[in-house]
Structure 1
């Protein structure tokens, strides 16, 4: 059986309230227009679509680990680079997870990189070594290593020049727990 064209809108309206004002035909003709709620839902969809498109193009570092503690929406994971905190969606202590960190979420600090913990909310902090940098038209990508794990870090050309990163430099990297996603490992022999 084919789905009626209006049934999708009706299903959305069941979930989100009235989204479309409908006017039946007549001397002035009929038509439909979005309600305020419909416009807000469409705007929200557009924002989410833009975020997903951007996320798909940003390289990320993926590290395997085991959940050691859970505190609300955040969990602490034991990884090859040490303890890392991130957002989760239903993990438990002992679960195997992947820690995913987007290159646009990480900040590089040259020198000893010491910052008063009360001056930043970036709870994930690691010492790293610069492995190299690649320069694009407007963005540079630094590759830094931490205990054999390579993090990619996106930065403006201006920041890259100011930092003057060269291979072998010791740096600090930081990123917020809220910019870290924990994804449960699938069981089985999937090795993609």
Structure 2
């Protein structure tokens, strides 16, 4: 991701992404294509979004290598040339919109809550001792006994062999578990993961794309590693 920011584009409440050939298509990419369509050229779109043309051009090239032709360019003529989206780009945007809509329909209703106690603090982040182990979470000051809430759309699932190492970063929580159930919709799948806790098994919900379910070949009983950012994990007093 480049360092330019779109001040007029609010950050999504979740991170819907499409994947192809190792490249992710996300909200910034969708905004870029829609702005090309609205402005009539990549140069004008980059200017409107406050991005450099070179980075926008480079990003479009990466996307086209993975997803196929997305922008048709014309030169000269009475209209001075310009750019317009291909049928493939419009289909990609429609697919992305369906993914976002399905996320929106279930993301806020699907969350996991565990109780714990704050054992360490670093600014707004605290280490909370829970039944499934120590979790880092955004925590109100002076709170000790807390409930930690994790939205399913903040969870990332990994095959054990491809998971980040334990203790690799303090910015990300990491748990090991076993897939319980897999429910797949048109674009989104809901996966439950059983995590062994001191007082029994805790079921954690993860909201992932169908592509991720297929890529990871997720099935009940499979071992899986769950990671989620500390800043996406929130604790409230109980």
Please give the secondary structure, in 2, of the residue aligned with 1:173: strand
Match of 2:158 in 1: 109
2:124 to 52, 73, 79: 73
Q: Which runs of 5+ in 1 are unaligned?
A: 1-39, 186-192
Change (3 A) 1:64 1:113: farther
Once the two structures are superposed, residues 105-152 of structure 1 have per-residue CA deviations (whole angstroms, 9 ceiling, x without a partner) of 111111344424697665210111000100112100110010211111
Whole-angstrom CA distance in 2 between matches of 1:56 and 1:174: 17
Indicate whether 1:176 and 2:229 are aligned.
Answer: yes
Which protein has the larger Cα radius of gyration, Structure 1 or Structure 2? 1
Partner of 2:111 in structure 1? Answer: 60
* Residues 151-187 of structure 1, C-alpha deviations (whole Å, 9 max, x = no match): 11111111111111111111100001000000110xx
CA drift at 1:91? 3.3
Following superposition, the deviation at residue 74 of structure 1 comes to 0.2
Unaligned runs of 5+ residues in structure 2 are 1-6, 15-103
Displacement after TM superposition at 1:58 (Å): 4.2
- Normalising by structure 2, what TM-score? 0.52
Residue number among 167, 181, 197 corresponding to 1:132 in the alignment: 181
Q: C-alpha separation between the residues in 2 aligned to 1:141 and 1:56? A: 10
Secondary structure at 1:161 match in 2: helix
- RMSD between superposed Cα atoms in Å: 2.8
The CA deviation at 1:103 is: 0.4
Could you tell me the TM-score, scaled by structure 1's length?
Answer: 0.63
> Secondary structure at 2:212's aligned position in 1?
helix
Question: Which of 196, 201, 210 is 1:157 aligned to?
Answer: 210
CA distance in structure 1 between the aligned counterparts of 2:147 and 2:126, rounded to whole angstroms = 12
Matched residue pairs, number? 139
RCO greater where, 1 or 2, for CA within 8 Å and sep 6 or more? Answer: 1
**Structure with greater proportional helix content:** 2
User: Per the alignment, in what secondary structure is the counterpart of residue 154 of structure 2?
Assistant: coil
